[in-house]
Amino acid sequence: MSDFVNNTVKKAACNAVLDFGSGLGHLIRILSYKYNIQTIGIEMQTKLTSEARKLDLELEYTVKKYLTEEEMSKLIRPNHINLTLSSLQQLAEIPLNTKKYGLIGLHPCGDLGPLLIKHFVNTGDVKFICIVGCCFMKLSCNKEPCGYPMSEYLKGLNNDLSYFSREIACHAIETYCKRLCNGDYNDLKVHAYRAALEKLLQQLDPKLMHMPVRNVKHTNNMTFEEYCAAALHKLSIDPLNSSDVETDLLQWKKVVVLYTLRLAIAPLVETLILLDRVLFILEHGMT
């Protein structure tokens, strides 16, 4: 990714890069220290930003053993900013000392991806965009600011995608396929556990239907109770019980079949979302 961004910066004649959802700053750290590119990392979690700055200092502490004072003084250092983006106005107010820059992001969650694309097409100073969309289920659909559909073409078709359609488009299919091909079916029981847990949560409170729970690596010896305890760790929810759970868990093979079918169409949904973004860019005269 760093090599690709560096080459794109050169081709676009940019002077800086903004990284959205920069996390611990690994990408911009390479871009700044290795490729001498001015970078700003935008991250909403204060803890991650603090850790990113510490990693910068640790790197400099190590390299100063091998560089002269003059070489150290010429280092281009990444800049880390805490900010939760929700509008184009916030993007316009990010401090930059250049009028030519690119937008990058490995994890532009939900509506952040569309927001960056809109900034790209509406701002002449932005010379390129390189983002990898994620968390499509968090997109705002058919309401402003609209994350999907973005293009006028799809809006004209009254196109809509359900929460469940957008959610499945986020799932990685490679590991699942490998387990199916290897016959590791017991490792797939975790999906039945997750389905049973979501059913219990919905019975407890319908508002908990889409509540994010902790990912749990299933083992053959793990009980459903142990799974629930791990998945709901750090959440203030009492232990869940239901007389239907054991019956539901006996149907785990049906859950695996259903999940497999959903994963089979996941690339189609993801492609639809991505092509909508391409159409939006084309509609604004960019090729």
Residue 249, both tokens: 């868990």
Rank 7-21, 79-93, 149-163, 210-224 by mean pLDDT and report only the highest: 7-21
pLDDT at 227 over 70: yes
- Return d(Cα 52, Cα 79) in angstroms, integer: 10
Q: 13: phi > 0 → left, psi -120 to 50 → alpha, else beta; which?
A: left
Residue with tokens 């996941």: 266
The pLDDT of residue 202 is: 84
pLDDT tens for residues 41-96?
A: 999 999 999 999 999 999 999 999 999 999 999 999 999 999 988 888 888 888 88
- pLDDT reported for residue 170: 86
Residue linked to tokens 């935008």: 42
Longest dimension (CA), the chain: 72
Among the residues of the chain, which ranges form H helices?
A: 2-12, 26-33, 46-63, 69-73, 88-92, 112-122, 152-156, 163-168, 174-182, 190-204, 224-231, 245-249, 252-283
CA nearest neighbour of 21 among 131, 139, 117, 123 = 131
The more confidently predicted of residues 41 and 196 is: 41
pLDDT in tens, 114-132: 999 999 999 999 999 999 9
* Structural domains of the chain sorted by starting position, each given as residue range(s) with its CATH number in brackets: 2-134 (3.40.50.150), 174-250 (no CATH)
Q: Within 10 A of 240 (CB to CB), how many other CB atoms are there? A: 18
Q: What is the pLDDT of residue 218?
A: 65
Which pLDDT belongs to residue 242? 67
- What is the CA angle 226-230-231, rounded to 5? 115
DSSP string, 148-171: B--SHHHHHTT----HHHHHHTT-
